[in-house]
Amino acid sequence: MAKEQQNDSQLQNILAGSCPTSLLLQPLPVGQPPVTLHWEVSMDRIRPFVPEIFNNLHALSHPGVRASLEMVAERYVWPSMRQIVGLWASTCLQCQRAKVSRHTRSEIGKFEQPSSRFEHVHIDLVGFLSPSEGFRYCLICVDQFSKWPETFPL
């Protein structure tokens, strides 16, 4: 981490004074043999300056923008952290694939009443269920005329 901090151009600009920030960074020795890491010390707990940690934390559970920011901010700090974490979380491909952006409700189907049995049959597949005798799905068929249900394990 010390090497990464030494190679980080953003941290070097902050330390040189060419990048204004509200961060209060302080070098502190850590470990055996001691290495110097830069820490943000303005809050009640010190946090290391680590610019590329988001992917490791966010990938644990893909919690969303607000929760990702809270999770990162309680442990680490870097300039523009709120904007960067917000952008990363909102553009995460796995989050976008799993996210439900709008719930839709379909109108209940309107069917004419059939005049005889098996003229109109409703079919549905239910599953992935806990296995029971090797079956994980159920095929459900209902005759609209008689309302007779049949269920077949698959």
Tokens linked to 120:
């109109």
Give the tens place of pLDDT for each residue, 103-113: 677 788 787 88
**Distance separating alpha carbons of residues 39 and 60, to the nearest angstrom:** 24
**Distance separating alpha carbons of residues 38 and 24, to the nearest angstrom:** 10
Q: Spell out the per-residue pLDDT of the chain, length 154, in tens.
A: 777 777 777 778 778 877 777 778 888 888 888 888 888 887 777 877 775 666 666 667 777 788 888 887 787 777 777 887 787 777 677 777 776 666 677 788 787 889 999 999 999 999 888 888 999 999 999 999 999 999 999 9
